Structure 1
Amino acid sequence: MKVAVLGCGGLGSIHANIYAKLDGVELTGVCDIRPEVVQNISNETGAPAFASFEEMLSGAEFDAISIVLPTYLHKEYTVKAAKARKHIICEKPIALTPEQAEEMIATCRENDVQLYIGHVVRFFPDYVNMKAAIDAGQLGNPGVAHASRIGDHPGKARQWYYDKELSGGIIKDLMIHDLDFLRWTLGEVDTAYTQHTNRDGVEYALVTLKFENGAMANVEAHWGYPGPFHTKAEIAGTAGIVRANSLKSSSMNIVKQPSGEVGRAVVAVPGSPGFQSPFELELSHFLSCIETGAEARVTAIDAYRALEIAEAAVRSAETGKAVKVARRNI
């Protein structure tokens, strides 16, 4: 399969280098408006460099394209790529607003091309194993979850992150990883209630989700943290707790409740960290879905639902009230 990459920043570089090494994949073009950036990626991968999408469209053959641009450009270039009949792998979030996302999905349907959104957390082994443990009934009935995603402010490297009209802010850009994971794991969300602060280069949000099945989750996101980037997740059920912590080398464990026998020890079962990049797993999966027509682990509709939850959380921060998640038919 022939693939191109639009946007050669940090994640764009990752996409391009993965494609250049994947069996059965030919990277036929890389594109960025910054000449030195795109030339560096071209030198690394051997793919021709282009200065604009239009130039790459006329000068390179490709079946699929990775759109790895700032969020405010996702809709514009997804629509352009779909009209050119190219399959699309777009980084998360799908768009800044549900309305933009609806247009993206509709245009892809009209032009019979696939649209995949890079919610890569679904490909991290710890999170995959957590969901598997829940699906296997190891926790009994899940009822309470906590998730956090904490790191330095990306605006220090890319100024557009500071403008929520361009990035969507911390909830739509960073927390949306965990919003998607929790919906994937626990089901549809009913309401979101948010506490939020943003000042002096520090943005923090704490969102309480109530799920339609009665489960609850507290989700934390922090930009401007002075320490290392890290993530944590914990889901508790009627029969046990599953935890993941990126700061620990062996980060996932399941703690089972004693089965009723007096004095029986609690058993912890560690998970194994993966050796293959989650981004490589994700991109290989999406390309396979394009070739076979199989349903992806994360669909464009999944990404749309995650954005709906994020939108409700943002509106809650603005109003100070719990906001019901809109479940539009698309």
Structure 2
Amino acid sequence: MNIAILGCGTMGTAYAHNLAKMPGVTVTGVVDINAGRAERAAALTGAKAYTDVESLFEQKDLVTVAVCLPTYLHKPFVLKLAERGLHVICEKPAALTLEDALEMKAACEKHGVRLFIGHVVRFFPNYHDAYRQANSGSIGTPKMAHFKRYGSYPQGMDGWYNDPGKSGGVIMDLLIHDIDFACWLFGEVESVYASTVKRDEPEMEYAQLTLHFKNKAIASLTGYWGYPGPFTTQFEISGNQGIIRFDSTQVQSLDIKLVNAEAGEGAAVQVPSSPSLYDPYYYEVQHFIECIRNGGEPLVSIKDACYAVAIAQAAEQSAQTGQPVMIGGTVS
């Protein structure tokens, strides 16, 4: 399959590394307004470098385009690609608003092309294994969860992360990973309550969310841009028969503790991570490409991605008003 990469920053470079070594895939073009970045991505893939997307469209055998642009540019370029009859793999979040995400979804459906959104956390072994364990009954019925995601303040070209109108801020850009995972785990959200703290010097943005689900489960989410330590993810998923825990700074496997396990007699059951030859981004884009080839349904659907944007938007509204936001209906 012939594929091109649109945007050659951090994520575009990651796509270039992975696609270059993927069997049955040829990167035929890379596009970035910064010629130096485009040339570096081209060197990784053997593709032709472009500084404008219109030149890319001269390629006749192009099938799919990976959109790795800043979030505020997702919608206009996805619409343009759909009109050209090209399948799209787009980085998360789908868009800055639910309205825009649904317009992207409708455009791709109208033109008969597939649209995939890169909610990669579902492809991380520890998260995927936790989802499987939680749904297997090993901890009984999952009822509560706590997710944390801490990282340095992102530095994008032209400082676009600093502008909420371009990045959506820490909730839309960072915590949407855990919003998507929590909704995958627990289903539809009933209400959202959120609070944020921001500082300009040094740059910091911190958010806490509480999601109440229709099945009576509750999830607490914490996101932090500006964390002075290493990138850190943690979660706990609690059921009426046990708890699943993960801390990226401590272990690389899940820690499952069951209520009927006796101390000193295997109280902690270690479930190793799935051995990975490649990183989760590789497996994610490989999965999407296979869905294009065989018409299969992806692990994360465009409907899921739109729903995550809707919940993130509601969280931002709650943070601004100081009041919980009720979630109505479903995303069609």
Query: Is the pair's TM-score, using the shorter chain for normalization, greater than 0.5?
Result: yes
Alpha carbons 1:253, 1:271 under 8 Å: kept: no
* Corresponding residue of 2:125: 125
* 1:246 positional shift: 1.1
The AA in structure 2 aligned to 1:74 is H
Partner secondary structure for residue 252 of structure 1: strand
- Residues 256-275 of structure 1 aligned to structure 2 (within 5 Å): 256-258=258-260, 266-272=267-273, 274-275=275-276
Q: Deviations over 1:64-114 (max 9, x none)?
A: 110000000000000000010000000000000001001100000000100
* Corresponding residue of 1:236: 238
* Corresponding residue of 2:54: 54
* Corresponding residue of 1:296: 298
* 1:273 positional shift: 5.1
TM-score scaled to structure 1, two decimals? 0.96
Q: Which runs of 5+ in 2 are unaligned?
A: none
Query: Would you identify which runs of 4 or more consecutive aligned residues in structure 1 move more than 3 Å?
Result: 155-158, 261-265, 326-329
- Residues 117-196 of structure 1 aligned to structure 2 (within 5 Å): 117-155=117-155, 159-196=159-196
The AA in structure 1 aligned to 2:44 is E
Q: 1:153 to 1:179 in 2, by over 3 A?
A: same
* Corresponding residue of 1:221: 223
For residues 174 and 118 of structure 2, the distance between their equivalents in structure 1, rounded to whole angstroms, comes to 13
* Corresponding residue of 1:105: 105
Alpha carbons 1:28, 1:61 under 8 Å: kept: no
Percent identity, aligned pairs only, is 42
* Between 185-194 and 164-173, the greater mean CA deviation after superposition: 185-194
How many residue pairs get aligned? The number is 329
* Corresponding residue of 1:314: 316
The AA in structure 1 aligned to 2:30 is V
For residues 249 and 263 of structure 1, the distance between their equivalents in structure 2, rounded to whole angstroms, comes to 20
Alpha carbons 2:29, 2:50 under 8 Å: kept: yes
Are 1:285 and 2:257 an aligned pair?
A: no
Partner secondary structure for residue 103 of structure 1: helix
Q: Which runs of 5+ in 1 are unaligned?
A: none
CA RMSD of aligned residues (A): 1.6
* Corresponding residue of 1:88: 88
For residues 146 and 329 of structure 1, the distance between their equivalents in structure 2, rounded to whole angstroms, comes to 25
For residues 12 and 155 of structure 1, the distance between their equivalents in structure 2, rounded to whole angstroms, comes to 15
The AA in structure 1 aligned to 2:104 is M
TM-score scaled to structure 2, two decimals? 0.95
The AA in structure 2 aligned to 1:183 is C
* 1:263 positional shift: 8.7
Alpha carbons 1:308, 1:327 under 8 Å: kept: no
For residues 262 and 14 of structure 1, the distance between their equivalents in structure 2, rounded to whole angstroms, comes to 44
The AA in structure 2 aligned to 1:190 is E
Q: 1:265 to 1:40 in 2, by over 3 A?
A: closer
Q: Deviations over 1:188-219 (max 9, x none)?
A: 11111011111121100000110110011110
Alpha carbons 1:312, 1:326 under 8 Å: kept: no
